[in-house]
Structure 1
């Protein structure tokens, strides 16, 4: 892969592969990402997964619109973070379509950036939640209808349950028996659908990040302050409760999302409180009462829904998420369902925290 990039991709950017250093970057589940350095500069290069993102042109177009808008906000002193920008080819193209050899795009690399895989402190959680809130607030002036849905119904819980049912019915890999108890558990939680149907029509449509993991917010390694929001691939129209819920999902547990130490997969109250504080403060000028009410639903629905997606992919033979070992997606599903159970066990305390920050905002 490294040789192919040097010989077939970098020439489109007028970069001599003999002078370039190419190394894998990050641990994303979907795309292949590399850091490219050469004497005159550096950039992040990605081969997009066109099975997941069949309309890759729309994805790149969305990212460009979002970057342009945030750059304008930053220039006016209205956006406090740095902005990751598209890097065009020597022919000023936004991407390179090499057919079976991949769809490639490049974005700017931010020096002095550092990422965190598992939240260790409430301060980290607060800073990251504030940054994602700043990101959403910065985009509140951009018409959400300008952004194309590259994955329709991405955060649509009833649809995800339908996909799970189809995977169960097919059992194409003969894996159902080993995970039947988790399948039964997922289908026992359909009560959230009625809450969703009651609340969602009241929520304004906004541009959401849709993948608010802690490692999609870069820290400045010199100060460990928030630097930038990255990975705009799933930015689409949606509701803020899902971004809030995905932060709860990925920040609150002290364990990685594929940890098999399920007894340690717990929603930490101090981290939850920090997310509430950072996110709602950043969005206070635009957050509606209905959106505030929706945050607890988002906190519950995201780990449950992602668990359903991991379980579905396991049953389907690991077609969507990259796996690194046998039963990896099943382990991820069990992890997410365990986190969901921990949230339910602390519902009264966590809802009180949301009410407290509603009062203080």
Structure 2
């Protein structure tokens, strides 16, 4: 499935937790700490080991020494790969920008968000560059939990970079208490407040423009370093995580394919029902009747409604309704025949 955004949608929504303590922002599933539910945390540890080794080899510091960790959290939904940019170039561009800002560090990049509607080809290219894919559609709630898991293996001093224009993620309260130096990256024409407008919130040390970060570092780093198409590929196996189902895919080269198949599975959709808000009549608050699909919030429902699969099912449903309508016009006696049992039952009830 690929995502097409033909209809504008206000990505910048009111904060989910103004003036709140982030330690209270928890999913119920994170309350029971057992082996199955901590797979995501262990997988982030695995990504640290893989990415650290790769960065140290690239930087020529494999012999040892203290190297600070940097976690980059890239929201694929609100900061997609710009047109004309090879997805496999994104990670080296981010690494280059960070080296200019803080010097050498071990960089771990996580592509997060609702990945159900990102094309399979794009996800594979992103994964092949060493970026960890995490299906985490619950905005700031998911980001906080992931940051907390990541911080268990990464202690300050260190760095965090957030690439997003979702205000539930770009919330200063999410980053307080971890002790990292934080950077934020917005896309051009973002409606989010800038650092100048957040003078009282000393959380983000510096802000970047997403498109500029990529273009500047593509010219200076990628063109001069990558000599052939194969050099985009990382030596580590892909690592993909579904934060809804706590499923981890990393043991084989086909892990990305397995992950994409999982996101389309009935098992995954059924698990969503356990996480979405419930509205009236015990039904999901945000729900697609056509696809029987529950969404976490209005924005995720918007993503679903713009997907090719939803549009295909919608066309099929409309065609079936039109066919049924024409059939009733051609054969009105069919409706009378279908209603006859109920009419006869009514007569018997009246006689009784």
TM tier, smaller = under 0.3
TM-score, normalization by structure 1: 0.27
